[in-house]
Amino acid sequence: MNGVRERLASRGFSVIAVVIAVLWTTPTFGLLLSSFRPEGEIKTTGWWTTFGSPHLTLDNYGEVLFGTGNASGRLADHLVNSVVITLPSVLFPLVLAFFAAYALAWIDFKGRDALVVGIFALQIVPLQMALVPLLKLFSQGWLFLPAWDSTGPARFGHVWFAHTVFALPFAVFLLHNFLAALPRELIEAARVDGASHGTLLLRIVLPLARPALVSFAILQFIWVWNDLLVALTLSGGTAETAPMTVKLAALAGTRGNEWQRLTAGAFVSALVPVLVFFALQRHFARGLLAGSVKG
């Protein structure tokens, strides 16, 4: 193990890492630089020509955020819809999976192991395969959800439900692996002292499970924020309920040549998940590795 670490820390591997990083970030840098270029230059010259004759402008961002024309983005209006869709779609599976993972890790009941295997197997079911059955259920006003012909904020419930249901298998699997790796002596000592399951959850397990909870929250946030198919299908795609991704898909114009709007809109849409990731990144690596090794 020490030999592997020494090799990874050598100068050769450092140079390789730098080269990979440069190659990986060059397209993103070009996209960022293009978002500040005038429309005429974007459509006629490459982004690298900016270094020879720099002409930068904020008009592209002003157009996609606050433009008044029919072709403008007005992403500022759809930003609220993205937040309204994403936050509940993260919190609902996070809370439900936390309770389920605790029960599967520390409460003995018949069929527990089979249930864990079944939940793990559900991860292979793609959300796209269930869109038609979901639409059929929603059209009948299924359970507590509003009918499909409802309008306005009520349509968000369909998107929340879809993202929550299909996020639960991975969330339960990730949190179960972490909670099952907690020291048994700690849990048993708390039980001997008379701690109930509620006390164990809130005062002992919850603080220890923070890295795993944050890791899932970041992954789910990025997934839902960047989702187009579910939001377009289940929210109706109207201006009242459509998130930023739906509007971004229309920024290219009818002929797909409005590149100046796409470059600026892409970075406006990416700003929020990037900020979320950097704010919580110190928990991310710990949470992904949580429960992978015991002992």
DSSP of 168-214: HHHHHHHHHHHHHTS-HHHHHHHHHTT--HHHIIIIIIHHHTHHHHH
Q: What is the pLDDT of residue 286?
A: 61
19-71 pLDDT per residue, tens: 898 888 888 888 888 888 887 888 787 888 888 778 888 888 887 877 655 55
Q: How far, CA to CA in Å, does 8 sit from each of 127, 247, 256, 293?
A: 39, 44, 45, 22
Q: What is the pLDDT of residue 291?
A: 46
CA distance 37 to 46: 10
Q: What is the pTM of this model?
A: 0.79
CA distance 276 to 295: 32
Q: What is the pLDDT of residue 67?
A: 67
CA distance 93 to 78: 24
Cβ–Cβ under 8 Å, residues 224 and 163: yes
C-alpha angle 260-263-267 in degrees, rounded to nearest 5:
140
CA distance 151 to 235: 9
Token output for 3:
């030999």
Q: What is the pLDDT of residue 292?
A: 46
Listed residue (199, 174, 176, 175) closest to 187, CA to CA: 199
DSSP of 24-78: HHHHHHHHHHHTTS-HHHHHHS-GGGGGTS----SHHHHHHHH--STTS--HHHH
Q: What is the pLDDT of residue 150?
A: 54
- Of all helices (H) and strands (E), which one includes residue 132? helix 131-138
Q: What is the pLDDT of residue 91?
A: 94
- Amino acid 38 reads P
With tokens 């003995």, the residue in question is 108
C-alpha angle 254-256-261 in degrees, rounded to nearest 5:
100
Q: What is the pLDDT of residue 98?
A: 92
Residues of the chain with pLDDT under 50: 1, 291-295
